[in-house]
Every structure is written in C-alpha cells, then in structure tokens.
Amino acid sequence: MQRIFAADIGGTNARFALFTEHEGILELTVAVWEKSADLRTAQDVLQLMQRQLQSPLVAGDILVIALAGPTQGLQGKLTNGPLRVDLSGVEQQYGLSCCLLLNDFTAQAFATITLVGANAWPVRGRGSTDAESSQTKAILGAGTGLGAASLVCCGAAKGGNRWLAVPSEAGHAPFAFAGTEEHAYQTFLARKLGCDCPSVENVLSGQGLSVLHYYLTGQFFYPPAVGEQALSHDTPTTQWYARFLGRFCRQWILSTLSWGGLWIAGGIAAKNRLCVEHPAFLQELAAGVDVGGVVAATPVMLITDANSGLWGAARAALERQCGQGLTPDS
C-alpha cells in the first residue's frame, strides 16, 4: 500500500491530505485545512503538513504539492501570497519514491478522472469521468484568483489511458465584454484596477465580484462575504456574473475542444450554485458561433468537493510514478 502526502495551496487556504493507493485505487485517509498567509518556504509547508496530518514523511512515501501560481520543475511561487517553493533535494532528504510540484489547476484537471469528477453536480448533461475514456476534459474555476486547464489522452497504458495535463494562464487573458452596458462597466473596472484591459480573473475572481456588485448596487463587500450577499438569490449581480461566467465557459470549451466535459471548480461557484443554475449562464453558454457543435455537445459539471485539488494532486502523482505524462514540459 502506497502513501501519498498531498497539498493544495492557494492565496487563502492551504489544504493537506494523506491518501493511500492500492492497485490504482485512491482512498482519502485524512484532510485538513489551514490558512496560507504565513507560509513562506517549502520547509514551512512540509512542517505544517506533517504536523497537521499527525504523520511524518518516511522513505517510500510520495509527496505532491499543488500551488496556485507558476511552477517550473520543483520550483514555484504563489501568485497571491509570499510563498516561494523549492523542493530540490526533498526527495533525497526523506527517501521519497516521488516528489512533485505542479500548478493547482493542473491538479484540478486530474481531479476530473477521480471520484470528485464522477460525483460532480451535472449543470448540463454528465461528463466522461471514466479514466478509460479518451475524450479531452477541461476545467476552470474562480476564487481568490482564476485558473483553467485541460486533460488530454496521450495513449494507452497498463490499466487505462495515459493523461497529459495542459496548463494555461487563460485567467490573465483580456475578458471579452460585449454591448454598451458591459463596456461601461469595463471602463469603470479598468479605472478601479488602474489598468487598460481587465482580465478574465479581474472579472470573475472574488475581487471582481466585489467590484461588480458595488458597480450595480453601490454596496461593497469583501470576499467571501460578497458571494452570500450577491449570489445567494436572483439579483442583478447574479445575472451579470452568471452571464460573464457562461461566456468564459463557452470560450474555454472552444479553446480546448473538451468533448469529454467541462468541470467548474473554485469556491465562488461551489458555494453559490445559482450562478451556474441561472438562465443567464445557460443562455450565454449557448450564444455565439458553435463551430462543429462542440459547445452544445459538451457536458458541464460543477465540482462541489472542496478537496478536489488534493484528489487531483494525488492522481497526478500516480501518473508521474508510473512514468506517464503530466504536463508538456514534465
């Protein structure tokens, strides 16, 4: 039986879990959450992880850390926080069988082929969650920031398929505003942010939701309180946010050709399901040109398990241990 220590670290929370794996089946033993604000180095992460899981890393274990920010090899940095991670030498220090650092949405992509993906709430249809299905899967999600990735089958392997996660920085692409009303808001948002061209993350993250709600109502709430105030019932903010989210979902489906399904993750949608149930979301999802009918044919699911990044990180570690692909540069 293989032990997997997994961490999923974002700008607000640091999640830790201990999994066991036997014959390809993952089982979650324990999961805990802490705030991430005080984390500065990899050693901070490792010490907090072992203390909170009440179990030390030992020879033969697997360690995997998913980080909400850019990663390169065993080094990475948190986009919305002071944490800098360098896992060089950690595998040798503990005698680990595998040590892996990856972007948090690379991990989320792998979560689509775990129990988390299978148990996601169907917004429209149900995705191809079976790991043996070769259809491309995509994921996106908004919280403190915004991430997006896809999972592509790259051949067969013993016991199933080999999977390649394709990371992205789609959240930093300019958001596509449309119409007079939206362009007025674009001008307002750009002035608030001090930038010329608001990004997808600027619009759909918690900070973006706060600004949108203030623009429409004159009331300002910091995240995460703004979600409860703005998205818990049908409000103008709900309608606008649902439309914006639906537009980005359509664009991401077209960009990834994710016939196997699109999964929506992140705290905003998971805690405020109305933003994907609202008619404005589905109307915007179906709007515009649908080349080849891929948008209409793609199932859309909502991940409600807050530990999805941990499950995905553990699944990604198994891919690496088996010598299979993770990302194009891994």
Model pLDDT, residue 128? 66
Instruction: Please determine, for residue 272, whether its predicted confidence score (pLDDT) is greater than 70.
Output: yes
Residue 326 has pLDDT above 90, yes or no: no
* Host domain of residue 95: 1-103
Is the domain of 180 the same as that of 269? yes
> Are 295 and 205 in the same domain?
yes
pLDDT at 242: 98
3-state secondary structure the chain: CEEEEEEEECCCEEEEEEEEEECCEEEEEEEEEEECCCCCCHHHHHHHHHHHHCCCCCCCCEEEEEECCCEECCEEECCCCCCEEECCCHHHHHCCCEEEEEEHHHHHHHHCCCHHHHCCEEEECCCCCCCCCCCCEEEEEECCCEEEEEEEEEEEECCEEEEEEEECCHHHCECCCCHHHHHHHHHHHHHHHCCCCCEHHHHHCHHHHHHHHHHHHCCCCCCCHHHHHHHCCCCHHHHHHHHHHHHHHHHHHHHHCCCCCEEEECHHHHHCCHHHHCHHHHHHHCCCCCHHHHHHHCCEEECCCCCHHHHHHHHHHHHHHCCCCCCCCC
In a domain, 126, yes or no: no
176 and 297 in one domain? yes
CATH number at residue 194: 3.40.367.20
pLDDT, the chain, mean: 93
Specify the pLDDT at position 158.
64
Banded model confidence at residue 291, pLDDT cuts 50, 70, 90: confident
The mean per-residue pLDDT over the stretch 43-69 comes to 96
**Residue 132 binned pLDDT confidence (cut-offs 50, 70, 90):** low
Same domain, 186 and 288: yes
In tens, the pLDDT along 232-261 reads 899 999 999 999 999 999 999 999 999 999
Tens of pLDDT, residue by residue over 144-202, are: 889 999 999 988 766 678 899 999 989 999 999 999 999 999 999 999 999 999 999 99
* Per-residue model confidence (pLDDT) at position 271: 94
**pLDDT at residue 325 above 80?**
no
- Would 247 be classed as within a structural domain? yes
The CATH number of the domain holding residue 50 is: 3.30.420.40
- 285 and 175, same structural domain? yes
Determine, yes or no, domain membership for 191. Answer: yes
**Ranges 178-182, 288-292, 300-304: which has the least confidence:** 288-292
Residue 327 within a domain: no
Residues 76 and 179 in one domain: no
pLDDT for position 24:
80
**Binning pLDDT at 50, 70 and 90, where does residue 129 land?**
low
Q: Total structural domains in the chain?
A: 2
Asked if residue 124 belongs to a domain, the reply is no
The verdict on 184 and 282 lying in the same domain is yes
